[in-house]
Amino acid sequence: MFLTKDDLKLSYGVDLHIGAKFVDRSVPLNNLYWKNRTIYLPGAPGYIFIPIYFDILRRSGASLDELFDESFLQSSESILHSAALHEYEEITWMQHVGQVMDAIKDRVVHKDFFQQLSTYAMQERPAKIPSLPFGSVFPSLNRADSYLFLLSTIQSNSFDINKALKGWYALMTYFLLMDDLADIREDIKTGQANALLDAGLDDHGEKLISQMIDNSIDDMELINPVMANRIDHKKSLIDLHGLIQSIRLGNQ
């Protein structure tokens, strides 16, 4: 599916300039994240999240000039290339985080944020640390958090890093939960991490997952109401209770 800047605006609330920037951008060379891709924005969450999150950064005070700076864009793409190396099991999570830190360390302006994120991310399987603002209660939903190192390089004086962080978790909790819902049966077979398994395939787990989606809606409403409405609509289409019941019956 090919997305236009107007699709991104109407369906996800993305600024037209940001939409155009990514729709028109060429696929980065020798980047595993875009392996076998011919366009920058295929119609999949792993790519669509990029302009949506750049728009959240704009709404958090980052200037378009900085977001469109080639070094910033390439830093984003470098993080995703390293994430793909980890996904393909060519490097470990710790090696991935090390690569990301090395790639952006000379451009860090939010040093405390960088240090705190480093402490959190340099865990074999990042889990929430109560004294730090990072992570979901379910480690399986923290698997994309290395991307947050990009925030430590944003120089705009009006940039609200806490708002950008809240927007990240509102967005990625939704996207990753949708991914886990789609993959739950396969993940049970293969033993892969999945938020539904972390929560538990019972009534309590169902309530936890449902509440997490509601929290994403509430937080996103304060940042991007169009995206919040999309999450709310998607939730209305999901039969979470039926899915969990069918899995439990199938495992008996």
Render pLDDT for 42-100 as a digit per residue (tens, 0 to 9): 989 999 999 999 999 999 999 999 999 999 999 999 999 999 999 999 999 999 999 99
- Same domain for 168 and 151: no
- Same domain for 24 and 76: no
Residue 213 resides in a domain: yes
Residue 65 resides in a domain: no
Q: What is the DSSP track for 86-137?
A: HHTTSS-HHHHHHHHHHHHGGG---HHHHHHHHHHHSSSS----TTSS---S
**Total domain count for the chain?**
3
Residue 248 above 90 pLDDT?
no
- Same domain for 144 and 77: yes
- Same domain for 103 and 151: yes
- Same domain for 19 and 95: no
- Same domain for 172 and 155: no
Confirm if 213 and 235 have CB atoms less than 8 A apart.
Answer: yes
Averaged pLDDT, 23-32: 98
Residue 64 resides in a domain: no
The pLDDT confidence band at residue 1, using thresholds 50, 70 and 90, is: low
Confirm if 60 and 150 have CB atoms less than 8 A apart.
Answer: no
Residue 175 resides in a domain: yes
The domain boundary, picked from 109, 128, 159, lies at: 159
Two tokens, residue 149 = 């190192």
Residue 218 resides in a domain: yes
- Same domain for 155 and 80: yes
The pLDDT confidence band at residue 250, using thresholds 50, 70 and 90, is: confident
Residue 79 resides in a domain: yes
Averaged pLDDT, 142-147: 97
The pLDDT tens digits of the residues spanning 113-137 come to: 999 999 999 999 999 999 999 999 9
Residue 36 above 80 pLDDT?
yes
**Predicted local distance difference test score (pLDDT) of residue 2:** 75
Residue 188 above 90 pLDDT?
yes
Q: Which amino acid is at 68?
A: F
Averaged pLDDT, 180-205: 93
CA 96 – CA 60 distance, rounded (Å): 27
The domain boundary, picked from 142, 159, 176, lies at: 159
- Same domain for 125 and 193: no
Residue 230 above 70 pLDDT?
yes
Judged by average pLDDT, the poorest of 49-53, 112-116, 217-221, 241-245 is 241-245
Residue 165 above 60 pLDDT?
yes
**Predicted local distance difference test score (pLDDT) of residue 252:** 46
- Same domain for 96 and 53: no
- Identify the domain containing residue 132 by its residue range: 70-159
Residue 251 above 80 pLDDT?
no
The domain boundary, picked from 59, 81, 100, lies at: 59
With pLDDT > 70 as the criterion, what percentage of the chain qualifies? 99
